[in-house]
Amino acid sequence: MAEQEASGLQVLLSTLQSSCDRDVILNILSVLTDLLSLGTGRRIHYVISKGGSEALLQALTTAAHTEPPDHSTLLPLLRLLARVGQRDRKFGLKVQKAEATDIILSLARRNLGHHLHLTHCLWVLQVCAANVTTRTTLGINGAMELLFKVITPYSKRHVRTVRAAIEALAALLKSKSNSRRAVNRGYLGGLLRLYQDWHHNDVSNNYIYIRRGLLLCLKHITNIQLGRETFLGSRGMEILFTSIQDCLFCKNLDPIITIVTQILRKCYPKEPLPVATVRSSYSFSLPGNAKAEHPCEGSEGDYESDGEEEAEKDLDNEDVESKEEDYDLETDVNKLRSRPVLDRPEEELGQYEAMCPELSHNFQELESESEEDKSLEDRTESLPSTPSHFIPSATSVKHPNYRWRNQSVTEMGPDPGEKVFKVPQQSWTKKEKCRWDPIDEERDTVEAVQDADSCEGEDPARSHTLTLHPLPKETAWYKKMFNPECETSINPSPGGRLESSDTVTNLLEKHQGDIPFHSPHFYVYRAKCVKSIPDYKDLAFPDFWGHQPPPYSKPMLERKYGVQRNKVLDDVRRLIQPDDVIGRTVFDLDEPSHSSPGVPGCLTFFSKFESGNLRKAIQVREFEYDLIMNADINSNQHHQWFYFEVRDMKLAVPYRFNIINCEKFNSQFNYGMQLVMYSVKEALQGRPRWLRAGHDICYYKNHYSCSAAAGGGVRGKCYYTLTFSIKFPHKDDVCYLAYHYPYTYSTMMSHLDILEQNRNPKKVYWRQQTLCQTLGGNPCPLLTITAMPDSKNRDDLEQFYNRPYVFLMARVHPGESNASWVMKGTLEFLVSNDPIADLLRKCFIFKIVPMLNPDGVINGSHRCSLSGDDLNRQWLTPSSQLHPTIYHTKGLLYYLRSIGRAPLVFCDYHGHSQKKNVFLYGCSIKETLWQAGCMVDTAVITEDVGYRTLPKILDKVAPAFVMNSCSFLVEKSRESTARVVVWKEMGVLRSYTMESTYCGCSHGLYKGLQLGTQELEEMGSKFCLGLLILHLKSLPCSKKVMAQAALLLDLEEEITDRAQRSCGNSSLETDDEPPCAEEIDYNTDSCSDDEGNFSELDREIQECLSWVEGETEDEGVTTGQTCSSKALRGLYISSQPTSNSTALPLRSTALGVYSGFESSPA
């Protein structure tokens, strides 16, 4: 039956091509019109698949050569060609093959005086211009000249024809050669004048499509450099900017506003950033002959070039978007297979034996002391205090500003000679939160603050006394906050700076000690030992005082309609109306003398503290500031992380901040993410917390670019603006703004000190060692955590030594502070008294590198180390001099593999700036090959699917985790990442990258909420729970362990409960997030303005069916009246003598056409 139906349609199309009988052709055309006017576009695709385009083109060629032309045949033919052609991807090629280009142009020229016929020709011309080659040919053959005759001069007569001509012209101008030809012939100025005429005379907004079509023409012409220059010379910026002002409050004019905004942004004259060089303000001399010259990745065409801007491709995150090209997938099976190889001499691995003391520990203390008699001091002193191993610094070449440490930090924390500050034992129960003892706090405060020489190995000539940057200077406010007797010591000095020691002492006396796992004096002590390139002298208050998560989660910010285009128009206003632009530099790292801080009514900025990043602040208007981030050290890129202080604000005034040198081409700031803010006044009133803040937030491409010369040879790097507005909670407060919740190196080190002193040494085996020294001379800690053996019994010791390893690490990218918060949750859970944690420690030995890139974190970088390298792209061949933390972490993994103890699970904690939720990236040969479309011989390629077990478990137990966001593909561009290298070279099946969003969740319990530090820490603890369940599911367990597990948790109930809470976590995820309510296209070569919308042209064609040939068009708005195809068929054949008709019978059953369409996709 299907064959009969298909053959019926083919007979119909074949007859159309070969018949010369006018009535037969008219009847066939009327049947096709009937069929294609019903249902969906699938019917048209069905006709195309049966050769419908070729048949119609052949019929057009035949009809056009008839003298005189038979318009009763030509008009329905042209209508059908327009409808079919716009859905036929190869229509342009078919037109060229049929040599129909000249025929269509000839018909248009011959019908210049007959607008009904001309309109039909213009529709087909527009469809033909969708093909690159065809539109170029049409331009050469004079199509644009013809169209300009139709659309000029301005007239409201024949508006349908004018609209069709303008839309055809817009399609032709997508060709760069046509755009160049239009500019050379002066058409751009004519288009601007014509647009002005239509805009001024269309008071009732009845001709939006004509105005939009003219703007599309201008948009395409300005895709080329010559077009932009001519547009600026013709005052196009002023004309469009002025015209759009009275359109902003009419939602019906959104198509106009959107395109005008695109044109204005694109034609805004390119400028370099207002900095002396795009390279970092800081530099670091690398050891040996290494050079810190790293070209930018993903460079784009120089902005001086005559071409379209290239689309950006961001390879920064391990992100596998559906739009990525499959050619990046690794399809070489030999490269995908595990291949144990060494990148160094095997004898070097012996040095890493000292990093595994747990394998040779004799546990003498199990007999010598009892837990009840062991005081906190005894516990600390009984542990080793001398280095158990020595790994040299990254280099023996000393930087002039540093004195390199000549030995590693001890296993258990501070070096000999350093003052050890002890805190009382804390409660580790699940429901209780630890609190500091105020008496102990007061006892240690003075020692902590005044001990300036406590860091081992400090150069006496180099003073490293840290101070708090001045606090809020409102004297009356101090009287409320501090005791009157302290008033003399805390009042601001004439210069605005407070006496540091008195300030810190008073603050510590006021500190309630109610922030779990944080001690200000521990932080001060650790911060003194930090070595930074800028030689920081100030502490950031939030890091010193601490952060307490708010008691609620904040929903994602709802995007206000029109906010992005309004921000872009504000930027354009600076160029058009510069009268109110101040342009005052108020903060400048490069030239401090050029800044003007303290100007009345002006904010004061500061960023020279650990992890701080703000290079320059420029006051644009009274309450608006442009901010420039510093590049990563020894680099000219990676501007994304920011963390800075701002003060001297007014109350309830919306300040606008524009960070103008961001680099990623998109951000979660466009999809509900907010930055974070910390208020000093709020903290001192008992609310010490980072909060999500900001409104009117958006992220878009701006007009700043980096020339080849300024970028060190990099061509045309473009920048993006993150803009947000903030109302500060207090007048004259001191507030801190950051990209995400900061987590500094000193915070991490002090956190480890607290965890070590509060663990239960009879239950928790803890060793803190130094993996290596970084390039900057800072120790990179390595932790070993497991359970102490129950006794010195042989079986207990054997169980201890044979526990499988889990290797965790975080913060290889400094700007991904969320990874550190997840790691914090993991560490706190691992050393806690939670019975599940106790069982987990008995199942695994954990090797943890909590911060792989300390130098980057300390110096406020976003992605790189001091060498200017992305350390997560150095795992194939790391350098011991340039990448010491990667080199020695990989060496330790090599050592574990060499002794047959390769980790069961390896996980690298990261943050993701462009996706929601928490998810894992893993590695799979088969999934990679399947995704690439390769044939997979399952007999030859076998693979353990155990890599999917852990993410499936986490999907059930962790509210923020989403399995459907996970990916297990191996890309060529990721071959040098930790995940892939550990999988290939170490043979670790479960090798993962865990990505945590900066924003929030689109699924589950936290759907619609932004993640805070509490949720991130929870993810770290749930990861531990997942590891325990993985052990119980995948590895043989003793009866004792299984019995303990059965008492602690019923796995099935746990999984069921979490599945119910996840509220649909397992549902299929289509997109990362829905598009914004308004979507502005910032790539000039894109066609996202709905130009390819079939419904518009279809609607025009349908409206045309109501026309009567020869009828004069109204000068007003086109009506929406239509008539059916059957009425149209009657219009053409009713005048024919039916008795003499030789037309084919219209019985559809005889042709099999209608029934054929009924069975085809509708």
Pairing label, strands 624-628, 654-662: parallel
**Ramachandran assignment for 417, one of left (phi > 0), alpha (psi -120 to 50 degrees), beta (any other):** left
CA proximity to 389, closest of 769, 776, 753, 768: 769
Residue 995 is among the residues annotated as catalytic for this protein: yes
CA–CA distance, 93 with 20 (Å, rounded to integer): 26
Instruction: Give the angle subtended at the CA of 805 by the CAs of 802 and 806, to the nearest 5°.
Output: 155
Q: Which of helix, strand or coil describes residue 845? A: strand
Encode 881-892 in three state secondary structure.
CCCHHHHHHHHH
What number of other Cβ atoms are within 10 A of residue 766's Cβ?
A: 21
CA–CA distance, 889 with 557 (Å, rounded to integer): 40
Q: Distances in Å between the alpha carbon of 269 and those of 222, 584, 619, 732?
A: 12, 21, 21, 38
Packed helices 1094-1104 and 159-172: angle between N→C axes, nearest 10 degrees: 150
Provide the H-helix boundaries in 86-158: 91-97, 101-110, 115-128, 132-140, 143-151
Instruction: Give me the residue label for tokens 């084919």.
Output: 1144
For the record, the structure tokens of 628 come out as 């420039």
CB 736 within 8 A of CB 677: yes
User: What is the Cα Rg of the chain in Å?
Assistant: 36
Instruction: Give me the residue label for tokens 């080190």.
Output: 749
CA proximity to 871, closest of 312, 294, 284, 347: 294
CB 836 within 8 A of CB 1051: no
Q: Distances in Å between the alpha carbon of 673 and those of 182, 315, 739, 1071?
A: 43, 21, 10, 17
- Burial of residue 688 (CB within 10 Å: 0-12, 13-18, 19+) is buried
Q: Distances in Å between the alpha carbon of 57 and those of 12, 79, 118, 674?
A: 15, 12, 18, 56
CA–CA distance, 694 with 559 (Å, rounded to integer): 12
Catalytic residue among 5, 441, 816, 995: 995
CA proximity to 646, closest of 681, 613, 615, 603: 603
CA–CA distance, 508 with 521 (Å, rounded to integer): 8
The total number of residues written for the chain in this structure:
1162
Provide the H-helix boundaries in 554-674: 563-576
What number of other Cβ atoms are within 10 A of residue 308's Cβ?
A: 15
CA quadruple 929, 934, 938, 941: dihedral, nearest 10? -50
For the record, the structure tokens of 944 come out as 């353990």
For the record, the structure tokens of 242 come out as 């002025």
b/e map 341-358, b = 16+ CB within 10 Å: eeeeeeeebebbebbbbb
Task: Give the type of residue at 1124.
Answer: S
Host H or E run for residue 982: helix 978-985
- Burial of residue 773 (CB within 10 Å: 0-12, 13-18, 19+) is buried
Q: 300: Cβ–Cβ under 8 A, 6 or more apart, which residues?
A: 309, 310, 312, 715, 716, 717, 718
Catalytic residues: 995
